[in-house]
Amino acid sequence: MNNHIDFKISKEEFISNFADREMYIVRGAVSPSLLNWTDLDSALYYIDPVAPHVRVHKNGLVSEACYVEDCSVGGVPRKRLNTSAVQDLLSDGATVVLNRIDARLERIRHLCAEVAKFTNAETLANGYLAFSGRGSFGPHWDTHDVMAIQLIGRKRWKVYKPTFHFPISGQTSKEHKADCPNEPVFDGVLEAGDLLYLPRGWWHDAVPIGETFHVAIGMYTATVLHYVAWLCQNSLLKHEELRQSLRPECDLEQAIVAAGKVLEKQLNDPKQLALFMEELKRASVKPHQPFSLESLVTSVCTPELEPIVPQEAS
């Protein structure tokens, strides 16, 4: 697979200086001609039309009834995107969000694989399509790292320092809108081909400038909580201090102190951490191997057929 992304720095430099720490911008990271409108036409035509695969935002979430229609395929009831309704919404300033677009477009799947290899993280991609409007969500943070790649058109990004560090799934910015800083650390335009890395928890707001499409490649890495959960399901099960019952009539404080000592010892055991990291290495960053049916054409031997002898009519 040929690389599409030029990160401009080495993987080691990125992990040492930017991962989890700072935003990072690469101008001209990919070719502006990597994706075109025909590709997006195809993705919209074949995508599953309902949530969570497709969402439309315009001053909030737009009801599916406004852009999804019923149809019949072979006598079986189905749903599909109403082409005219979707295009009317886009013309009127809506943003169409295509979740897991890496499962629909081969080139975006390649981008995800490159980001996964570069960051040692599991990846997936959501696409954001607009022709005008005020953006999708306003200032917000994500609970995973993001590499946003502008593929068509332009978008204005405002990025702000985090006020809640390292949020995890469920810890959204919805109830913290008032905490967003007043002054952005970056206020600029991403052109087609540009890349922006944002660690989780960094506030950001993206506004279309005319016709625009970008993908947000989410990166999912293990946390300390994942390690603690792994210990609970593995080595800690062997220790009776952790298997003790907690009853009102028992000495609860003594039980917790004893369990805490075991937990502290296990957390600081380098052998346990090495086992956990080895399991992560085996399980993560394994892109689905694409099919190559053409390779079978020459590799599979075709048996020779016996010659056909014409039969005379009796």
CB atoms within 10 A of CB 192: 21
Closest C-alpha to 80, from 58, 47, 56, 37: 47
| Helix, strand, or coil (residue 211) | strand
Q: What 8-state DSSP symbol labels residue 176? A: G
pLDDT of residue 290: 73
Given a cut of 70, whether residue 313 has pLDDT beyond it is no
Cα(258)–Cα(252) distance, integer angstroms:
10
The tens digit of pLDDT for each residue in 223-281 reads 999 999 999 998 899 999 989 888 887 788 999 999 999 999 999 999 999 999 998 88
70, 77 in Cβ contact below 8 A?
A: yes
Q: At the top level of CATH, which class does the domain 11-219 belong to?
A: mainly beta
Cβ contacts of residue 95 below 8 Å, gap of 6+? 56, 57, 58, 128, 129, 130, 133, 135, 136, 208
pLDDT digit string (tens) for 101-124?
999 999 999 999 999 999 999 999
Banded pLDDT at 56 (limits 50, 70, 90): very high
Position 287 scores a pLDDT of: 60
What does the pLDDT average to over 11-37? 96
What the block records as the tokens of 179 is: 């905490």
Q: Where are the domains of the chain?
A: 11-219, 224-283
- The pLDDT, as a whole number, for residue 248 is 84
User: What value does the CA radius of gyration of the chain take, rounded to a whole number of Å?
Assistant: 26
The DSSP symbol for 94 reads -
Cα dihedral 72, 74, 80, 85, rounded to 10, equals -50
Tens-digit pLDDT profile for residues 275-312: 999 988 887 655 667 777 887 886 655 666 677 777 76
Calpha distance 187→185 (Å, rounded): 7
Q: Look at the block and give the residue holding tokens 């956990």.
A: 276
Predicted local distance difference test score (pLDDT) of residue 11: 96
* Better-predicted residue by pLDDT, 51 or 271: 271
